[in-house]
Structure formats: C-alpha cells, structure tokens
C-alpha cells in the first residue's frame, strides 16, 4: 500500500514544517493522497471480510463432513482453491516503504 506510506510521509513533512512555508498545492496533494489511501484500505478490508466469510463457510462444511454429499464436498474443495488463490494475491501485496 504505497499510497499509505506516501500519505504518512507527507503528513510527517507537513506537521514538521512551518505553516508559512507550506504551499497550497502541497497540502492539496497530501489530502488527495490520504483520500486514496483511505479508499484503498477500505477496499482491502472488504476483500478480507469476504475471505473471512469464505473461511467460515468451509469451517461449517468441515463440521458437517460426515453428512456432505459428494457434490457438496467437491464444492467445498473448489471453495478452498478459491480461498487459497485469494490469500496468495493478498499476501503478494507487499509495502514498498517503511513507517518510522
């Protein structure tokens, strides 16, 4: 989430700079960066919530394992494949900056 790191870095700069030295366009750019960061985090939270629902669904199916039909078992296996792929995608999003 590079935009989050840019937002924090920009905030640190603005907060450590005298107000008279801050240009209006710098402040505008920082606010825009924050809006983007907030929206991206919201989207990521939605994706993670969806993964949580899928994991709960698989857990329910595991709890019913002895009562599952073959079709339900295959659907559960397909769902685990989808979850695995989504987790790989989520984990591959690595931050490029560092917070200090």
pLDDT, residue 96, reads 47
Task: Report the mean per-residue pLDDT for the chain.
Answer: 88
Reference 48, options 4, 87, 100; nearest CA is 87
pLDDT for position 92:
82
> Do residues 27 and 14 lie in contact, with contact meaning Cβ atoms separated by under 8 Å?
yes
Is the Cβ–Cβ distance between 51 and 86 less than 8 Å? yes
Report the number of secondary-structure helices (H) and strands (E) in the chain.
Answer: 3, 0
pLDDT tens, 24-71?
998 999 999 999 999 999 999 999 999 999 999 999 989 888 888 999
């Amino acid at each position: 989430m590079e935009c989050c790191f840019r937002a924090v870095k920009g905030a640190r700069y603005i907060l450590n700079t005298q107000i008279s030295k801050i240009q209006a366009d710098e402040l505008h750019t920082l606010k825009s960066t924050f809006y983007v960061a907030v929206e991206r985090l919201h989207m990521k939270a939605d994706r993670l919530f969806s993964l949580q629902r899928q994991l709960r669904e698989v857990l329910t199916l595991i709890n019913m394992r002895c009562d599952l039909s073959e079709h339900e078992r295959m659907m559960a296996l397909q769902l685990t494949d989808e979850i695995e792929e989504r987790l790989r995608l989520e984990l591959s999003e690595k931050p490029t900056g560092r917070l200090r």
